[in-house]
Amino acid sequence: MKILRFEHTQYSGLGVIDGDDVVVFGNANEDFPDNLDGLIEQWGKMEDIIKALIEEGGHRVPLSEVKLLAPVDKPGKFLAIGMNYKKHRAESIDAGITPPRNQMWFSKQISSINHPHGEIIKPDSTMMLDYEVELGFVIGKECYQVSAEDAKEHIFGYTVCNDVSMRDWQLHNMPERVELMIGKSHDTHGPIGPWIVTSDEIADPHKLDLKCYVNGELRQSSNTDDMIWNCYEQIEYLSSAMTLYPGDLIITGTPPGSGFSPRGASGLADKGRKGSVYLERGDVVKCEIESIGSIENNVA
């Protein structure tokens, strides 16, 4: 299923995609959860109710008439792993950055979350605004000290994220260290969406093509099979230290080809791209992942 949050002149809230329509949850049953966390926590019984709602027709609005909202708006945690693609790690070494030996995590503040088509604001304080297409997943069951072998059962679904980054803010304390959190947490710098695809519809999250375009130019092109630590290993590592709760959002790293890259995306360097290319006001950034969908944001 594709679970989404949306606004419409008649309805708003949670829904599910069925063909070209949104089947609205809120008008189906007064006991229906009105937020994503509630839906996830009750998913054991809600899944069959939603399937029946789709079959019965339910309250529908055309998908083309709704405004898509971030499918996750206020997660308890918004966690991100750095340098988790083999080729991205290689280009980071080229840029003079020593890669971590183990998983490297940071928090991206929830106030950065943006809608699938919301504007990305470029503050006057940055000259190095960058894009990063990433696969995101949402925790479906509370977990602590879960093995990688069992981790799959704790994922509710998958989404697309653009981990927008202000590189100059990240480099304030160089060469001593890279400051990840503050340079990745400005308001609007976490577009996600367009919906959550439930995990039963993603046969293997580690075999998905992902791409990023800027003004129609392909900047990043890779596959999630290039991850160093896969989604399940990430859950194992995180849950060894903290409890993960339903609704927590985790993004899994970016492939090569960001503006910070000294050589561009693997396989694209021969097309004439030289040096670093950062986002400017007026640019349009599109991030897409196979079997999930795409988000597209204007820079303002």
Residue 109 CB partners (closer than 8 Å, separation 6+): 78, 181, 185
pLDDT at 271: 45
What pLDDT digit, counting tens, does each position of 70-95 carry? Answer: 999 999 999 999 999 998 777 777 76
Domain boundaries, the chain: 2-69, 78-298
- For the segment 14-42, the average pLDDT, to the nearest whole number, is 87
Q: To the nearest 10°, report the CA torsion of 165, 166, 169, 175.
A: 70
pLDDT tens, 165-222? 999 898 876 655 667 899 999 999 999 999 999 999 999 999 999 999 999 999 999 9
Angle at CA 253, nearest 5°, toward 249 and 254?
130
CA 91/CA 194 separation, integer angstroms: 29
CATH superfamily of this structure's domain 78-298: Fumarylacetoacetase-like, C-terminal domain (3.90.850.10)
Which pLDDT value is given to residue 180? 87
- How buried is residue 124: exposed, middle or buried, by Cβ count under 10 Å (0-12/13-18/19+)? exposed
pLDDT of residue 124: 97
Whether the CB-CB separation of 84 and 228 falls below 8 Å is answered with yes
Residue 210 near residue 290 (C-beta atoms within 8 A): yes
pTM of the model: 0.93
**Structural tokens at position 9:** 């002149």
The predicted-structure confidence for 254-268, as pLDDT tens digits, reads as follows 999 999 876 544 434
